[in-house]
């Protein structure tokens, strides 16, 4: 089982020709209301790959709460440990301009109330893993990782969005997953220079953990237990890359949970990430195991 400890949001997305100046009102296209949050997206991504997944987070007492959890519920993610916090569900106000640039105002809402104590009631088994991201309190995330370590679980940390993290927190992590920009920020803070593979290797040995970096269309590379593994990207014609990172992380975690080797787990993550680029939005574009296996099979024959 994978326990995902993290955020759940509603995304309100509006397309505009250009961003308004301060004090200005402009008219955009009709907005889209979509469920999101990295925690919820990654829980759904792992579940769609066939893993048993429990999501631990918090939704508000507003009308957005049920909507935010609807896909997770429909796909069979365990939601018994999702708290109801007084106030609003986390909401992201996203505007996208004609160049595809975005501006985002994040209202954390219930995500600010997510507590690691909620994990205590969960029954886990040897070989289970905990998956966390950077969208809920780092203090509570650290406690969650300590909880996982105490139970002999694998701690996977997707440091997204990039933010400063304590060495104490990192010492509790088994596998760190970042994208190129997040890797650049982590490397800068750690005083590391060089190409992605050098930085990944140095970071892995300095911190004593596994490091996976996703490279957009170029795929991903990883350094885990002294082994370097690389997967080139799957060529696709992207429609919308939102959710690609979450698809990668969920599918990678699901592969490890199923006992697959690192190289295979990265390949599965890359295939899921590529497929997530083919549809608009985050949660609707997260692929299912059959689609990922079909793409892997297709590439095997090339």
- CB of 179 vs ligand ADP, minimal distance in Å: 4
Residue bearing tokens 């949050």: 37
Q: How far apart are CA 18 and CA 27, in angstroms?
A: 10
Catalytic annotation present for 120: no
Which residues of this protein are in contact with ligand ADP, per CB under 6 A?
A: 160, 179, 214-217, 219-220, 233-234, 236, 238, 241, 244-245, 248, 270, 273-274, 277
Q: Which is nearer to ligand ADP, 186 or 277 (CB)?
A: 277
Q: Which is nearer to ligand ADP, 157 or 234 (CB)?
A: 234
Q: Which is nearer to ligand ADP, 147 or 234 (CB)?
A: 234
Residue bearing tokens 């250009």: 18
- CB of 103 vs ligand ADP, minimal distance in Å: 17
Question: Quick one: how many helices (H) and strands (E) in the chain?
Answer: 9, 14
Q: Which residues of 145-184 are buried (b: 16+ CB within 10 A; e: fewer)?
A: bbbbbeeebbbbbbbbebeebeeebbebbbbbbbbeebbb
Q: What DSSP line would sit under 38-69, residue for residue? A: HHHHHHHHHHHTT--EEEE-EE-SSTHHHHHH
Residue 42 · residue 131 · CB < 8 Å: yes
Q: Which is nearer to ligand ADP, 207 or 215 (CB)?
A: 215
Q: Which is nearer to ligand ADP, 66 or 181 (CB)?
A: 181
Residues with Cβ within 8 Å of 30's Cβ and at least 6 positions away in sequence, in order, are 14
Q: Output the CA angle 177-182-187, nearest 5 degrees.
A: 95
- CB of 267 vs ligand ADP, minimal distance in Å: 9
Q: Which is nearer to ligand ADP, 2 or 247 (CB)?
A: 247
**Annotated active-site residue in 246, 257, 290, 291:** 246
Residues with Cβ within 8 Å of 31's Cβ and at least 6 positions away in sequence, in order, are 12, 13, 14
Q: Are strands 175-179 and 154-158 parallel, antiparallel or unpaired?
A: parallel
230: β partners: 221
- CB of 249 vs ligand ADP, minimal distance in Å: 8
Residue bearing tokens 């925690």: 39
* Dihedral of the alpha carbons of 68, 33, 179, 103, in degrees to the nearest 10: -130
- CB of 47 vs ligand ADP, minimal distance in Å: 18
- CB of 20 vs ligand ADP, minimal distance in Å: 26
| Catalytic annotation, residues | 246
């Amino acid at each position: 089982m994978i326990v995902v400890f993290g955020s759940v949001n509603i995304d309100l997305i509006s397309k505009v020709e250009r961003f308004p100046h301060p004090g200005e009102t402009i008219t955009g296209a009709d907005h889209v209301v979509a469920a999101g949050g990295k925690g919820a997206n990654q829980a759904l991504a792992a579940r769609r790959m066939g893993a048993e997944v429990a999501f631990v987070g918090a939704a508000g007492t507003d009308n957005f709460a049920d909507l935010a959890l609807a896909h997770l519920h429909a796909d069979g993610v365990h939601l018994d440990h999702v708290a109801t916090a007084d106030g609003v569900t986390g909401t992201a106000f996203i505007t996208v301009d004609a160049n595809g640039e975005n501006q985002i105002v994040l209202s954390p809402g219930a995500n600010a109330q997510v507590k690691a104590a909620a994990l205590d009631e969960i029954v886990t088994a040897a070989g289970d893993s905990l998956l966390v991201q950077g969208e809920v309190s780092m203090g509570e995330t650290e406690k969650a990782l300590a909880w996982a370590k105490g139970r002999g679980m694998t701690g996977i940390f997707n440091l997204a969005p990039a933010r400063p993290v304590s060495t104490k927190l990192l010492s509790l992590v088994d596998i760190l997953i970042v994208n190129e920009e997040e890797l650049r920020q982590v490397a800068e803070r750690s005083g590391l220079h060089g190409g992605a593979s050098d930085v990944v290797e140095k970071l892995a040995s300095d911190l004593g953990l596994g490091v996976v970096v996703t490279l957009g269309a170029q795929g991903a590379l990883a350094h885990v237990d002294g082994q370097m593994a690389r997967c080139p990207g799957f060529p696709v014609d992207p429609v919308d890359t939102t959710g690609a990172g979450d698809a990668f992380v969920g599918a990678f975690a699901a592969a490890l949970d199923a006992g697959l080797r690192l190289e295979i787990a990265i390949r599965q993550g890359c295939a899921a990430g590529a497929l997530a680029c083919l549809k608009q939005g985050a949660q609707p574009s997260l692929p299912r195991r059959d689609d990922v296996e079909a793409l892997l099979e297709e590439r095997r024959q090339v």
